[in-house]
Amino acid sequence: MKAHTPARRSRPVVASLAALLSVALAAPTIAVAQDTLRVGKAGREAFSFVPVDIGDRQGFFKKRNLKVEISGFSGEARLQQAMAADGIDISLASGVGMAFIVKGSPAKAVAAFAGPPLLFALIVPKDSALKNEADLNGKTVGVSGVGSVTHWLVNQIAIQRGWGLGGIKVVGIGDNSARVAAVKSKNLDGGVVDIASALNYVKSGDGRILNRFGHIVKDFHLHVMFATDKTIAAKPEAIRNFIAGWFETIEFMRKNKTATVEIAAEVMGTDKDLAAGIYDELMPMFADNGKFDAKALAVISKSFVDLKTLPTEPDMSKLYTETLLPN
């Protein structure tokens, strides 16, 4: 009787294992499907919303298995219309835009990402007799529109100076370029524009900045993120990942001015020197965690009545949620 030969008996087993291993190695890796969020910006070139472009390019959303599709809109009203029509999932807009929710917009504010209104400056012609905000009593100032945040900011100067709401005459002009043109032609005494337009106006040699608004209103949420009710219900984790990616982007921007300026200049369609100036002016306004501040919400609530956007102050707790903020 022949002795058993273990080596011979094991060959088929070894061959089978080798075959299985080769099949496993050859099999394609099954990728986890990315979540997609359609993100709308209330201004196409505004530095306030550039973080979403930087976060996309730096991979802060991708590493969270998130794909963002970015669209720019000419103003918040169009952005809100897109949300109502289910054209976007997330919007980057203004704190005063929370009034749209009271009026029926199917959304909630999910993160506060900018505080004091450092975005805006009041410009005057270079040879204007106006020297500071104390000279604005009785003057005419251009804003984006009646009932806008720029209108409200001008009213705050008049109120704080004791002149009353009519102390400074306000005219709705339209976009930044129209306001600059009206000031340049001296059809207005001054105009409230975003800081990019203001710095460009100064650089041209035609005008100067009379006033900035950071000291006028300190407790404020200039910008907030909105998510549609539909997206909150269907993709809460995707929203949470987007917010986390956004605030990682803000941290990156604070530490990497050169890289931030390079991308911002491209997105905004401006030169790097101007983008660097905007960076210095506006980085301090960005929040680090998305939490809503009670004092800021109270100021925004009062602004709704001041601007006649709403007849009474709403229950602000119904207009936002912090449940989607990163832990």
145 and 86, same structural domain?
no
Range in 111-115, 202-206, 227-231, 248-252 with the lowest mean pLDDT: 202-206
% of the chain exceeding 90 in pLDDT: 75
143 and 65, same structural domain?
no
247 and 104, same structural domain?
yes
132 and 155, same structural domain?
yes
236 and 249, same structural domain?
yes
138 and 68, same structural domain?
no
Domain total in the chain: 2
Q: Within a domain: residue 158?
A: yes
Task: Show which of 158, 187, 212 is a domain's final residue.
Answer: 212
Task: Show which of 212, 236, 253 is a domain's final residue.
Answer: 212
57 and 41, same structural domain?
yes
Q: Within a domain: residue 326?
A: no
What does the pLDDT average to over 157-176? Answer: 91
186 and 140, same structural domain?
yes
Q: Within a domain: residue 95?
A: yes
Over residues 224-283, the pLDDT tens digits come to 999 999 999 999 999 999 999 999 999 999 999 999 999 999 999 899 999 999 999 999
Q: Rounded to an integer, what distance in angstroms lies between the CA atom of residue 52 and that of residue 45?
A: 12
Q: Within a domain: residue 142?
A: yes
Q: Within a domain: residue 63?
A: yes
Give the largest CA-CA distance in the chain.
119
**b/e per residue 85-119 (b: at least 16 CB within 10 A):** eeebbbbbbbbbbbbbbbeebebbbbbbbbbbbbb
Q: Within a domain: residue 318?
A: no
Q: Within a domain: residue 82?
A: yes
**pLDDT exceeds cutoff 60 at 77:** yes
pLDDT reported for residue 32: 59
Which of the listed ranges 30-44, 205-219, 221-235 does the model predict with the highest average pLDDT? 221-235
Binned at pLDDT 50, 70 and 90, residue 104 comes out as very high
The CATH number of whichever domain residue 107 belongs to comes to: 3.40.190.10
pLDDT reported for residue 262: 97
Contact criterion met (CB below 8 Å) for 91 and 225: yes
**pLDDT exceeds cutoff 70 at 301:** yes
Q: Within a domain: residue 17?
A: no
- Give me the chain's average pLDDT, please: 89
- Domain range for 161 is 120-212
CB pairs under 8 A, 24+ apart, for 281-285?
Answer: 281/118, 281/195, 281/199, 282/47, 282/48, 282/118, 282/119, 282/195, 283/253, 283/254, 284/118, 285/114, 285/115, 285/116, 285/117, 285/118, 285/119, 285/214, 285/222
